[in-house]
Chain A
């Protein structure tokens, strides 16, 4: 059982829904980024999605695009992202998912990436633009390492396709609740709960929902349907404004008491 499975099991026991926090490695510079990530973990992020910066993040809105650009300008790389994980692992047992795009992973070499990520203490990989059909090669290299390939499901994903993806899924399922790119939004998608409920019939894995959640009220509502909520752009903005710990605590507080606890 790896750290992702353990964390979701512990959340169920505690009767609480999880907070998955995304921050871009190296944003706005490597030192500040590490400080921010440590603060996020100390104040209650349950799963860290560590963004590996990429020059052309086509699934991301303006906030994460800008974060990637700042990180790259400050010299961040895939290798340095892995070194960051290694340092975080000395102090934290929080699950870490390396969240990036296909080309930097491909260029690093799938074999090398998997070996070094596992050794550094990464628990899962998520490549936004590596479609299920194109992921076989990466999956082969992940086998033998305790790494989960986190799948994305979108509102546009037909049921039979979702079933095929989830049949091979590990860790947790990331449900993209809006048809669009990352970024804060005023309202949650109205059909989110129905979509998440439909996924329950296809997989026993925990379901995290993301894309658009920026505050405690939204997190609490999303958590009524899901096992965890993902917050990214809002954390980056809060970090830039020096209010990261406050937002993480607010999100955590909003999620407290959201689980039913004790049931299996």
Chain B
């Protein structure tokens, strides 16, 4: 199960490298450099030290007793990636890629961002390593996630607004690929998810698997056995890939990926690429994609900017086909309810992305017995979403039709 991808980055029929010829040599070079770094104990040592002393790893595994009580079933543990420096799992990957950039002699980092978490994590890495940083972000997301834009600028990053298409993550990534095509010889493109052309999906998964490796040791300490279920939200899919990967060969551990069902799967306004999409090619790899009959990419919708993306990492497509991971959808409203529930019950304000996984966990825990336990990857904290949630509540109150 854990084998793959092949040397050209294929996970079964998925993955690969679908980019213009200009970028192909850079991907080959990156692949070689990454494999060398991965096998170099000194690289691993430096990264581990940063993860411990700078990020604050290991992140705690927390038994959420009040949330468990409210759900009325299995014990719910939260893997607290929200407590990492910068407030999300994204930094596990950006530090790894920045360290690799340094090793390759590149002094300029470039990133796309949706919720801004990956942009902030890249800007932080650039500051730490004394590198230049350019972040592409959709204009719509710049409004939705204003606090993160301010953080990136304070950190010295240049935030480039993207006005094309839906002005969200998809367009930011398209624009980042264009910009990379023009600067490929000097710039290291830090992709923030397990998406994009090979070697990004495997590299980002490897940098994020620390979440699953830690979880494994922590549940064994806390419960003396592996969990009955692990849940994580899936946009591009990096926090899910990170926590799932070390458990793939444990068939008794059920793995659940939670996609954004937006206004509902039937509404056509969602971001559930696996649950409701079809096989296609987007941003460098073959996977499940939201598209029309002509192969045009559809606009995704989610209340959460980080899940608002019409594609998903290729390894998830393989896991979906094999049935190893079950993928489900959670709507905007369900995620918002979970956002408030976790905030009130546990004093933890989750990212709207992570709130999708919490919502599904509440449903599942209720259906499982009290002798069972599950783990939710709480991939990020919700400070960035506070304004948007309050604005949304006001808008709903104002239109007079919400009750």
Contacts and interface: CB of A to CB of B under 8 A. Distances in A.
Contact of A56 (B19, B22, B165): B165
A181 B184 contact: no
Contacts of B280: 103, 106-107
Contacts of A107: 280, 291, 293-295
B18 A161 contact: no
Contact of A176 (B21, B25, B164, B295): B21
Interface stretch (B266-274, B281-289, B354-362, B370-378): B281-289
A155 B289 CA distance: 31
Given A106-B281, A180-B181, A131 B25 contact: no
A58 B21 contact: no
B16 interface: yes
A233 interface: no
A142 interface: no
Contacts of B19: 58, 129, 131
Interface in A123-154: 128-134, 151-154
B24 interface: yes
A57 to B, nearest CB: 8
B79 interface: no
A148 B232 CA distance: 46
Contacts of B183: 179
B209 interface: no
A156 B26 contact: yes
Interface stretch (B88-96, B136-144, B170-178): B170-178
B294 A104 contact: yes
Q: Is the interface of A mostly helix, strand, loop or mixed?
A: loop
Contacts of B251: none
B165 to A, nearest CB: 7
A158 B283 CA distance: 23
B49 interface: no
B224 interface: no
Contacts of A61: 178
Contacts of A181: 178, 181-182
B295 A134 contact: no
A154 B25 CA distance: 10
B18 A131 contact: yes
Nearest to A78: B294
Interface residues of A, number: 41
Interface string B156-193: 00000000110000110010011001111100000000
Candidate in B178, B281, B286, B294 with the most chain A CB atoms within 10 angstroms? B294
B294 A77 contact: yes
B22 A179 contact: yes
Interface in A150-189: 151-158, 161, 176, 179-181
Contacts of A153: 21
B16 A133 contact: yes
Contacts of B286: 106
A156 B18 CA distance: 16
A154 B21 contact: yes
Nearest to B13: A137
A134 B27 CA distance: 14
B181 A102 contact: no
B8 interface: yes
B25 A161 contact: yes
A8 B8 CA distance: 35
Nearest to A108: B295
Given A56-B170, A56-B297, A106-B281, 11 more contacts: A78-B295, A79-B294, A103-B291, A104-B296, A106-B280, A128-B20, A130-B18, A134-B17, A176-B20, A179-B182, A179-B184
Q: Which 4 A-B pairs have the closest CB atoms?
A: A107-B295, A104-B295, A180-B182, A154-B22
16 contacts: A54-B295, A58-B283, A59-B20, A60-B178, A104-B295, A107-B294, A107-B295, A128-B20, A130-B18, A131-B18, A131-B24, A134-B18, A154-B22, A156-B26, A161-B24, A181-B182
